[in-house]
Structure 1
């Protein structure tokens, strides 16, 4: 049997040809890209969630849309909800001052605000999905790259064994076992990428749902002056929660 020191990952790399080393380099690059995306999107997601919570707390406790506009002007739009609010408020004020001066502003104020909100929602969806295609691609292809490396390694190992004329188990098991390292590396690269992709996708779906609901209520504030259900709550004499109370419109 070969000495243990001559069998392992280092020996596998040393005896690999150009194709084997290239495939390993591809897997290493995939792993680096995957973990960089996971770290970047994880940090972005944490900050986005924290800032969104802070803005929504302020929004639902604000006395008027002018206060919301002042808050955005002071601190900027740093999350999807404040970004949506900033564009919707600007659309309302712009249409009130200039009317339908251009084709992009055609229609009533309601139509213009609706188009603006839809445009911002599409932009936020695109921003949320940034990088997910790369994670999905890495998760789907890394195992096959590793498998290709294993097949290539087994092929060359068997060719070398056949040429040497030594077909004993100790001569076969070592090289074939080393070739399986590439499959393991491929799986090690793919598993974190797939798990992160699923986690980010679910988080994005939840955020998109919350953003759609907020967009509906924001549109009602801008066009009706109160959130959906506020009038019903008043008529029933029910306690009005912060997300259904009337709000003063922004000053045009």
Structure 2
């Protein structure tokens, strides 16, 4: 006996037994259930990893920004604190690089420099936001597709139950109920995968948008600082 069969045998028969429902289901329904369970595991992996990642990014970003605005020499502060994955530091690094290249030109174009600074910082903000939310599309896919995949398993299981009725020439509830229970279990697993995926996608999308807005405000403030420096050149 396999471990699943042992688990199904040891579970009380008076109550709904998910393991037994899985083992007794048609092979197609089993494949649907297995795929949905794998998707659910991956969804929870993304939820946990994203929660840890966004929390760490916010803390590092906040510490960098607080120190940056308090520093007397912003460029020196950046050199000392630019290590690691800190999105705000990447914005500053890109802006300072463009700043040096613009000042190295024979003739300084103040308006052109402002535009290039804005473009390069905006590009980094978008890149960091995309990198943060790169796995959220999977949550959206599972949230929208999992119920229909589960429904496919349910329809297939019910079709198989009706086929068994025809084979056995018996339409009693005892013949139909097990197959229908197995089929409906596929829909339940689909919802089990989809519900947390939808909730997490909506919550995390909002977190990414909030993070992008905060990073853009930091970039705008630094752009203003550099613009004032340009006036003194």
TM-score (norm 2): 0.83
In the alignment, structure 1 residue 65 sits paired with structure 2 residue 69: no
* Bigger mean CA offset, 128-137 vs 76-85: 76-85
**Runs of 5+ in structure 2 lacking a partner?**
1-11
Separation (CA, whole Å) in 2 of partners of 1:206 and 1:71? 27
Q: What's the CA shift string for 1:127-156, capped at 9, x where partnerless?
A: 122011111001111111111111111110
Aligned to 1:50: 59
- Evaluate the alpha carbon distance shift between residue 41 and residue 19 of structure 1 in structure 2; reply closer, same or farther with a 3 A threshold: same
Q: Does the Cα contact within 8 Å between 2:21 and 2:181 map onto a contact in 1?
A: no
Separation (CA, whole Å) in 2 of partners of 1:7 and 1:47? 42
Separation (CA, whole Å) in 2 of partners of 1:204 and 1:99? 41
Q: Whose helix proportion is higher, 1 or 2?
A: 2
Aligned to 1:89: 96
In the alignment, structure 1 residue 197 sits paired with structure 2 residue 206: no
Q: Does the Cα contact within 8 Å between 2:158 and 2:179 map onto a contact in 1?
A: yes
Separation (CA, whole Å) in 2 of partners of 1:40 and 1:220? 35
Q: Does the Cα contact within 8 Å between 1:7 and 1:178 map onto a contact in 2?
A: no
Report deviation, 1:77.
4.9
Q: Does the Cα contact within 8 Å between 1:140 and 1:190 map onto a contact in 2?
A: yes
Aligned residue pairs total 220
Report deviation, 1:83.
1.3
Could you say what the CA RMSD is over the residues aligned between the two structures, in angstroms? 2.8
Q: What's the CA shift string for 1:78-112, capped at 9, x where partnerless?
A: 22212111111121123223569xxxx9x732232
- Evaluate the alpha carbon distance shift between residue 212 and residue 138 of structure 1 in structure 2; reply closer, same or farther with a 3 A threshold: same
Runs of 4+ in 1 over 6 A off after TM superposition: none
Separation (CA, whole Å) in 2 of partners of 1:18 and 1:171? 18
TM-score (norm 1): 0.78
The partner residue of 1:167 within 155, 159, 171 is 171
Q: What's the CA shift string for 1:190-226, capped at 9, x where partnerless?
A: 1111111111101111111111211111101112149
- Evaluate the alpha carbon distance shift between residue 169 and residue 216 of structure 1 in structure 2; reply closer, same or farther with a 3 A threshold: same
